[in-house]
Structure 1
């Protein structure tokens, strides 16, 4: 089937329109049968993808397809925002992606929600960008909108991600001497927040932006740090450097007052090419264990945890207490 569809040029970066399927000679009945057999998957009314593409796609990839299909189906050009802009920018989300597509509608009398499209009566974005043929709010505006309208956890996770990526970009530019756009910093985000002037959620956004830290290298590390804050534990230093036998090691968390190292172990790290470097999982795990053995004599204690534990706030609080993680001082 793929060869037949290819010959008619029906693919639109993975998406297939119902109109293109009809033009290729397929009837409604044929499309229905292909869908039942799993050879096609319906993204939304009027848009499909190959079944294997949909089956193999991660939740963020499925939502991205839905966003692109909805934008393509719209009768007027949409400026997508919030979760929809976030997924197009590649921002991480802890929790499920929404079922609807979000767009700015500054001229509307109020925000509205339909089955597939949620519009927001926010100020328009003066600097929208185009990603994969879809117009979305700028990265700065997207992060601010998410910090305003989402939980502290989601806001911190996204701001952490952007600050971390910007730090990586600055390091690369310093090495190469090739400089791009000005970096996105906390001050830049707070300035954008002033420009947006949200009716509600301003203090929540300020809190998330202020708490954020670009030293958090992934969403799991951000999740853990948010849990420390919310559960009343001391927020540790991040990416602290240890030099042992002439070699340098950086640890995720370090509680200096009690000489304690904390490490977040996400399952994803054991499937990423830059971490695996051609090694098998056993080899990577053994390397991590050896690293821990080298660092343990330099501290009083060393604690590890993963996604499931950090996500369950009650279980994580009990775990941190049992591991003697220090409590935060009363503010």
Structure 2
């Protein structure tokens, strides 16, 4: 039975409609039993996915939900706002992933029904792209729309990631100019100004936001350090060179599901990180680390980092080090 559901889902790109099951002789009672047994997962009314859906990231689940919603709407309706942004970047912060956003071209009114937000407005052809057979607003527009409805931090995450993905600053600013009369444009403008293409993760982008709001100097990013022989010691997320201090955000990419080691060798990763940090300190540099939990308390985290920065400047102010961006 499990193989049956998986095969059926493949035909629609990962999900199953109630009509698909009824057409194949599966009753509503059997559908309920399959849900209870964990063979399928309910995405929304009349839409399901195989049990493997549970292993997807929240963003992957939202992508599937968004495509399923769009496929049941009239043709020409475009995924937009964070629903498009999640498809483009594979990441999110500060948005409701249970809600899908779409834009109806030419409509001027907006409405929300069954966890689907229908936006209206002009949507020129150049603002629309196709991904896996689905129409979405372009990456830059999706990032800016996310900032408009979800705020600066959520927008900073998306604008940084699309910049890192190849969108130019000129395109972002050009689109921002066209949004001059949009509600919430001040939040969008701040997200664009603060964004950096050097952010490689949600955690790094949120760290930038934390520094800005906490009054810390804006550091250089992705800075690589070398020893006296020219051998690379390692690259760090953030470097406050005037303070002889480094910063590292420790998220899932190092210690979670993206860990390059097997589960049995997680300790090896910790040992390697400690060795790298020790070699950087030997250059006369201090280091601060923070995690997702620390980002939830930005004021306290900024105070801790600032105190460490000042200590590093006192201790290492005359140190000589070799660095290359």
Pairs within 5 Å for 1:179-328: 184-244=167-227, 245-248=229-232, 249-271=234-256, 275-276=260-261, 280-324=265-309
> Normalization by structure 1: what TM-score?
0.84
Matching of residue 107 in structure 1 with residue 106 in structure 2: yes
Distance in 2 (CA, whole Å) between partners of 1:232 and 1:225 is 11
1:325–1:263: structure 2 CA closer, same or farther, 3 Å change rule? farther
**Cα-Cα RMSD:** 2.5
Distance in 1 (CA, whole Å) between partners of 2:253 and 2:224 is 23
Distance in 2 (CA, whole Å) between partners of 1:8 and 1:275 is 33
Distance in 2 (CA, whole Å) between partners of 1:211 and 1:231 is 13
> Normalization by structure 2: what TM-score?
0.86
1:310–1:7: structure 2 CA closer, same or farther, 3 Å change rule? closer
* Secondary structure of the corresponding residue to residue 203 of structure 1: helix
Could you tell me how far 1:133 is from its partner in structure 2? 2.7
Name the counterpart of 2:115: 116
Distance in 1 (CA, whole Å) between partners of 2:93 and 2:145 is 16
Tell me, yes or no, if the aligned pair for 1:125 and 1:138 is still in contact at 8 Å: no
Could you tell me how far 1:252 is from its partner in structure 2? 1.3
Structure 2's unaligned 5+ residue stretches are: 312-325
1:76–1:106: structure 2 CA closer, same or farther, 3 Å change rule? closer
Name the counterpart of 1:93: 92
Could you tell me how far 1:43 is from its partner in structure 2? 0.9
Pairs within 5 Å for 1:54-203: 54-127=53-126, 128-166=128-166, 184-203=167-186
* Secondary structure of the corresponding residue to residue 248 of structure 2: strand
Tell me, yes or no, if the aligned pair for 1:270 and 1:276 is still in contact at 8 Å: no
Tell me, yes or no, if the aligned pair for 1:122 and 1:196 is still in contact at 8 Å: no
Cα deviation code 1:135-176 (max 9, x no counterpart):
11111221222233321111111111122222xxxxxxxxxx
Distance in 1 (CA, whole Å) between partners of 2:124 and 2:270 is 46
* Secondary structure of the corresponding residue to residue 224 of structure 2: strand
Distance in 1 (CA, whole Å) between partners of 2:263 and 2:61 is 29
Name the counterpart of 2:318: none
Could you tell me how far 1:7 is from its partner in structure 2? 6.9
Name the counterpart of 1:39: 39
* Secondary structure of the corresponding residue to residue 22 of structure 1: helix
After superposing the two structures, state which structure 1 stretch, 270-279 or 118-127, moved more: 270-279
1:272–1:200: structure 2 CA closer, same or farther, 3 Å change rule? same
Distance in 1 (CA, whole Å) between partners of 2:276 and 2:8 is 55
Distance in 2 (CA, whole Å) between partners of 1:6 and 1:286 is 41
Structure 1's unaligned 5+ residue stretches are: 167-183, 327-331
Cα deviation code 1:249-276 (max 9, x no counterpart):
3221111222111111113323466844
1:272–1:58: structure 2 CA closer, same or farther, 3 Å change rule? closer
1:6–1:111: structure 2 CA closer, same or farther, 3 Å change rule? closer
Could you tell me how far 1:322 is from its partner in structure 2? 4.1
Could you tell me how far 1:17 is from its partner in structure 2? 1.2
Tell me, yes or no, if the aligned pair for 1:123 and 1:196 is still in contact at 8 Å: no
Distance in 2 (CA, whole Å) between partners of 1:10 and 1:161 is 29
